[in-house]
C-alpha cells in the first residue's frame, strides 16, 4: 500500500481543506505559500497540521502575526495551544509540499517504526535525504504540476517561501516550480527545524528569535547583521500589510 502525505486530502471542518497536499481551500485570499518537502503519512507521525512536528515554524509565525513581538520561544509540537488556523488567516498564508507520497506501484511494508520500500530500502526517519534517494529512483509521486497550476490560478499569491534548499531531486522540483511561476517572488528561508543555525545571535537569547531575525532580515541592512548565503527573507510589504512591524524582530 502506498505511503501518502498525511494531509493529502484533508478537511478540518473549519473552512480549511487540502487537495493534493496543498492547503488550497481557506477563508481568505492567500498572499504567501510555504512549500516544504513531505509530511509523512506514517501511523506514528502525530502532526496535526503542516510543520506540526517539533519545529519553530508556529513559534515564529505566532510571534509575527499574533503578538508582533518576540514572545514564544519553545519548539511547537502537536497538541500545543498555538492555533495555526488563526495565524494562517492573519498572515494570509497557505502551505504545500513537494511530495504526495510513494507511487502506487511501489511496494511498501511497515516493520515497527520503519517502512521497507521495494523489499530492501529502509525508510526510518524524517530526513529529506530519504526523499532524494527515493525520488532519484522514481519511487515518489511529486506535486510540481498541481502546485504550479494552483499558484498560477490564484492571483492573490505573491510570494513563495521554500523551507528547504538542498538535495538534488528536491531542488530540481524547487527550480521547476520557480521557472513555471514567473509572476511571484520566490526564495528559500532557513529551515524551521533550526538545525545548523549554530550559535544564536548575541542580541537574541532564544533560538526562535534569532531564526525569526534571519527570516525577516537576512541579507538586508540592519544593526544586527545576518547573512546566510543563498537564503532569502520575508517580503516586508507583505508583513506590514498584515500588521507586522519588521523592526520588532
Helix (H, G, I), strand (E, B) or coil at 96: strand
| Residue 47 located in a structural domain | yes
For residue 80, give the nearest of 116, 43, 49, 42 by alpha carbon.
49
| Residue 2 located in a structural domain | no
Which residues partner with 117 through β-bridges?
A: 108, 121
Q: In total, how many domains does the chain have?
A: 1
Q: What is the DSSP letter of 111?
A: E
| Residue 200 located in a structural domain | yes
pTM of this structure: 0.95
Per-residue pLDDT of the chain (249 residues; tens, 9 = 90+): 899 999 999 999 999 999 999 999 999 999 999 999 999 998 888 888 999 888 999 999 999 999 999 999 988 654 555 579 999 999 999 999 999 999 999 999 998 889 999 998 999 998 999 999 999 999 999 999 999 999 999 999 999 999 999 889 999 999 999 999 999 999 999 999 998 887 678 788 899 999 999 999 999 999 999 999 999 999 999 999 999 999 999
Residue pair 173/180 in contact by the 8 Å Cβ criterion: no
Angle at 192 between CA 207 and CA 242, to 5 degrees: 95
Residue pair 57/76 in contact by the 8 Å Cβ criterion: yes
| Residue 242 located in a structural domain | yes
| Residue 122 located in a structural domain | no
Give me the pLDDT at residue 82, please: 55
Helix (H, G, I), strand (E, B) or coil at 161: strand
| Residue 149 located in a structural domain | yes
Give me the pLDDT at residue 197, please: 86
| Residue 126 located in a structural domain | no
190: CATH: 3.40.470.10
C-alpha cell at 242: 498584515
| Residue 5 located in a structural domain | no
What residues make up the domain containing 165? 17-104+142-248
Amino acid at each position: 500500500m502506498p505511503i501518502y502525505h498525511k494531509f493529502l486530502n484533508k478537511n478540518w471542518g473549519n473552512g480549511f481543506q487540502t487537495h493534493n497536499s496543498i492547503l488550497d481551500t481557506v477563508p481568505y485570499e492567500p498572499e504567501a505559500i510555504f512549500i516544504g518537502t513531505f509530511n509523512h503519512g506514517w501511523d506514528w507521525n502525530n502532526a496535526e497540521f503542516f510543520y506540526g512536528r517539533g519545529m519553530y515554524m508556529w513559534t515564529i509565525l505566532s510571534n509575527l502575526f499574533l503578538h508582533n513581538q518576540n514572545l514564544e520561544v519553545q519548539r511547537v509540537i502537536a497538541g500545543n495551544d498555538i492555533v495555526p488556523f488563526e495565524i494562517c488567516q492573519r498572515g494570509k498564508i497557505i502551505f504545500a509540499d513537494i511530495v504526495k507520497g510513494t507511487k502506487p506501484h511501489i511496494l511498501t511494508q511497515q516493520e515497527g517504526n520503519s517502512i521497507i520500500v521495494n523489499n530492501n530500502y529502509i525508510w526510518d526517519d524524517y530526513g529529506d535525504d530519504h526523499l532524494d534517494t527515493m525520488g532519484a529512483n522514481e519511487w515518489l509521486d511529486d506535486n510540481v504540476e498541481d502546485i504550479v497550476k494552483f499558484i498560477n490560478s490564484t492571483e492573490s499569491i505573491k510570494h513563495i517561501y521554500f523551507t528547504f534548499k538542498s538535495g538534488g531531486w528536491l531542488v530540481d522540483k524547487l527550480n521547476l516550480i520557480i521557472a513555471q511561476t514567473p509572476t511571484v517572488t520566490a526564495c528559500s528561508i532557513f529551515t524551521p527545524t533550526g538545525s545548523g543555525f549554530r550559535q544564536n545571535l548575541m542580541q537574541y537569547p532564544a533560538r526562535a528569535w534569532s531564526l525569526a531575525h534571519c527570516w525577516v532580515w537576512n541579507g538586508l541592512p540592519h544593526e544586527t547583521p545576518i547573512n546566510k548565503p543563498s537564503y532569502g527573507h520575508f517580503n516586508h510589504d507583505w508583513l506590514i500589510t498584515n500588521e507586522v512591524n519588521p523592526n520588532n524582530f
